[in-house]
């Protein structure tokens, strides 16, 4: 099957590596991807951190930073560039020099401290960051604390915010967005001062979660993504505000410290039925192109599904009409994608959504001990035992999978993979869950790669 080739908007992030993947380069990649923009990266520093602390910060050599930027600009000219953490003066100068070739909007998010209050830029480099980079940037996006440090003014009121923005503008920045999430009170206000003097405010009720990791980076990355897609600055400001507020509402706890924002949660938050069908069919087409994937198809065959947000019935879940079958070592769909085409896998997603709405897509593959070992080494896994199914549930058509997935999630609420070992007349099965179909496909590729090696 021939595939069309289309141009995509590209956004480049120049930032530090966050080993917890909540912020920094990793967080930006997720945000760009969630908003449909291709992500390129330049790493300026490597941090060792988790949800509780940063244990080390290692700045990369300025020459390496410069080479990364130049390499991207010469081959993949971005539609917008975001600058995040830059640790020292030499790195700032190297980035500014390399960015002279850039022909797009540059967004500067002046990262001074981490959520845990660890300094992420040398003190003597802060003034250089503003004097060197702010004048070449389209917009600078400090939070309240960063705006106080850059402007040299205390910020307590809305008037203080506008004064600080004007002061920062006098330092060379053209457009300034001061993020209000760190302000006191129950209302958060983001403030935009444009170079023509027009100002805009967006206020919203604060979400009462203390010290969320990644929210600031998510906002500036979302702003960059929307600018890359040719929205105006004001439109991008409004869209990024709305999007980041939604991501804060959907925080996750992955460790023992601060909760993190999860940009991928909202990829298909408001997807239409057409969007769901299109994305599922694209995933099916890709599945058919993967060598060896047929080896994972069970005797009862497979299906991949994708549910509308808030689905409560099979008719709101898209899947392959018929099944995905094995032909040789390949997987082949027996027909096209339609809503209401799956019962088994659709019910699995509906059961998961009733417990936790983060995963709206899934595929079933065969169960064996090789697959079980791979999944336990790479993913969060849970299981259920069909022999323990209550008689009244067993007697109702389609209730087994709802009962089983619910039982498995009580053991591990964040499971990516759920399996059962079958019983007499019932084939053992593995269910792989994901945010959307390509998240599922990427997990399949990991399983297949290791399966072929074992």
What CA–CA distance (Å, rounded) separates 397 from 402?
A: 11
Task: Give the domain-ending residue among 250, 266, 282.
Answer: 266
3 in any annotated domain = no
50 in any annotated domain = yes
Same domain, 296 and 206: no
What pLDDT is recorded for position 106? 97
Determine if residue 310 is left, alpha or beta; phi over 0 gives left, psi from -120 to 50 gives alpha, anything else beta: left
Same domain, 320 and 440: yes
Same domain, 287 and 229: no
**330-333 and 317-320 strand pairing:** unpaired
Number of continuous H segments (helices) and E segments (strands) in the chain: 14, 18
Question: Once rounded to an integer, what is the mean pLDDT over residues 263-290?
Answer: 80
Domain count, the chain: 2
Same domain, 214 and 337: no
Same domain, 360 and 428: yes
Same domain, 192 and 318: no
What CA–CA distance (Å, rounded) separates 274 from 368?
A: 36
Task: Give the domain-ending residue among 219, 236, 266.
Answer: 266
Task: Give the domain-ending residue among 266, 283, 313.
Answer: 266
Same domain, 250 and 308: no
Same domain, 150 and 185: yes
What pLDDT is recorded for position 309? 85
| Mean of per-residue pLDDT scores for the chain | 88
Is the full-model pTM beyond 0.75? no
1 in any annotated domain = no
pLDDT by residue (tens digit) across 63-113?
999 999 999 999 999 999 999 999 999 999 999 999 999 999 999 999 888
pLDDT by residue (tens digit) across 138-148?
999 999 999 99
201 DSSP β-pair partners: 191
Same domain, 288 and 432: yes
In the predicted model, is pLDDT for residue 8 greater than 80?
Answer: no
pLDDT by residue (tens digit) across 25-47?
999 999 998 777 899 999 999 99
The angle at the Cα of 349, spanning 344 to 354, to the nearest 5 degrees, equals 125
181 DSSP β-pair partners: none
5 in any annotated domain = no
278 in any annotated domain = yes
Q: What is the DSSP string of 353-388?
A: HHH-TT--EEEEEE--HHHHHHHHHHS-EEE--GGG
CATH number at residue 230: 3.40.1190.20
14 in any annotated domain = yes
User: Which residue, 363, 381, 444, is CA-closest to 418?
Assistant: 381
59 in any annotated domain = yes
What CA–CA distance (Å, rounded) separates 430 from 392?
A: 24
Containing domain of residue 164, as a range? 10-266
In the predicted model, is pLDDT for residue 6 greater than 60?
Answer: no
Same domain, 370 and 346: yes
In the predicted model, is pLDDT for residue 1 greater than 60?
Answer: no
Same domain, 176 and 278: no
Same domain, 308 and 425: yes
pLDDT by residue (tens digit) across 237-257?
988 888 787 777 777 778 888
- Interacting residues of 164 by C-beta distance below 8 A, sequence separation 6+: 147, 148, 150, 151, 153, 155, 178
User: Which residue, 22, 10, 11, 12, is CA-closest to 264?
Assistant: 22
In the predicted model, is pLDDT for residue 182 greater than 70?
Answer: no
CATH number at residue 428: 3.40.225.10
Confidence of residue 151 (pLDDT cuts 50, 70, 90): very high
pLDDT by residue (tens digit) across 206-221?
666 667 777 778 899 9
């Amino acid at each position: 099957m021939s595939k069309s080739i289309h141009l995509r908007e590209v956004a480049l992030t120049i930032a530090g590596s966050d080993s917890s993947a909540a912020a920094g380069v990793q967080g930006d990649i997720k945000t760009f991807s969630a908003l449909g923009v291709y992500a390129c990266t330049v790493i300026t520093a490597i941090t060792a951190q988790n949800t509780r602390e940063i244990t080390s910060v290692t700045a990369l050599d300025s020459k390496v930073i410069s080479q990364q930027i130049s390499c991207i600009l010469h081959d993949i000219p971005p539609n917008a560039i975001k600058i995040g953490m830059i640790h020292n003066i030499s790195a700032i100068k190297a980035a500014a020099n390399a960015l002279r070739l850039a022909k797009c909007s540059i967004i500067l998010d002046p990262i001074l401290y981490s959520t845990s209050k660890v300094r992420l830029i040398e003190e003597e480099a802060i003034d250089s960051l503003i004097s060197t980079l702010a004048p070449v940037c389209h917009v600078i996006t400090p939070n309240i604390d960063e705006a106080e440090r850059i402007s040299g003014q205390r910020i307590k009121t809305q008037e203080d915010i506008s004064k600080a923005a004007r002061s920062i503008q006098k330092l060379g920045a053209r457009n300034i967005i001061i993020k209000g999430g760190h302000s006191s009170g129950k209302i958060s206000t983001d403030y935009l001062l444009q170079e023509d003097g027009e100002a805009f405010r967006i206020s919203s009720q604060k979400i009462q979660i203390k010290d969320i990791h990644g929210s600031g980076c998510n906002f500036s990355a979302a702003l960059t993504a929307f600018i890359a897609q040719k929205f105006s600055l004001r439109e991008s400001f409004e869209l990024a505000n709305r999007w980041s507020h939604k991501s804060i509402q959907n925080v996750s706890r992955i460790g023992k410290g601060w909760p993190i924002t999860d940009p991928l949660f909202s990829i298909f938050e408001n997807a239409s039925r057409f969007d769901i069908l299109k994305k599922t069919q694209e995933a099916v087409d890709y599945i058919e192109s993967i060598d060896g994937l047929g080896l994972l198809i069970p005797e009862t065959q497979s299906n991949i599904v994708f549910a509308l947000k808030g689905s409560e019935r099979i008719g709101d879940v898209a899947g392959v009409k018929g099944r995905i079958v094995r032909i040789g070592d390949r997987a082949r769909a027996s027909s096209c994608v339609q809503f209401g085409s799956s019962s088994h896998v659709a019910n699995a997603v509906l059961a998961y959504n009733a417990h936790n709405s983060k995963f709206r897509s899934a595929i079933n593959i065969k169960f064996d001990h090789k697959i079980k070992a791979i999944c336990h080494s790479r993913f969060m896994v849970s299981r259920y035992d069909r022999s323990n199914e209550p008689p009244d549930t067993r007697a109702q058509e389609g209730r087994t999978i709802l009962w089983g997935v619910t039982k498995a999630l009580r053991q591990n609420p964040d499971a990516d993979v759920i399996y059962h070992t079958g019983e007499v007349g019932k084939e053992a099965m593995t269910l792989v869950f994901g945010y959307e179909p390509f998240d599922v496909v990427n997990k399949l590729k990991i399983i297949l790669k290791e399966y072929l090696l074992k």
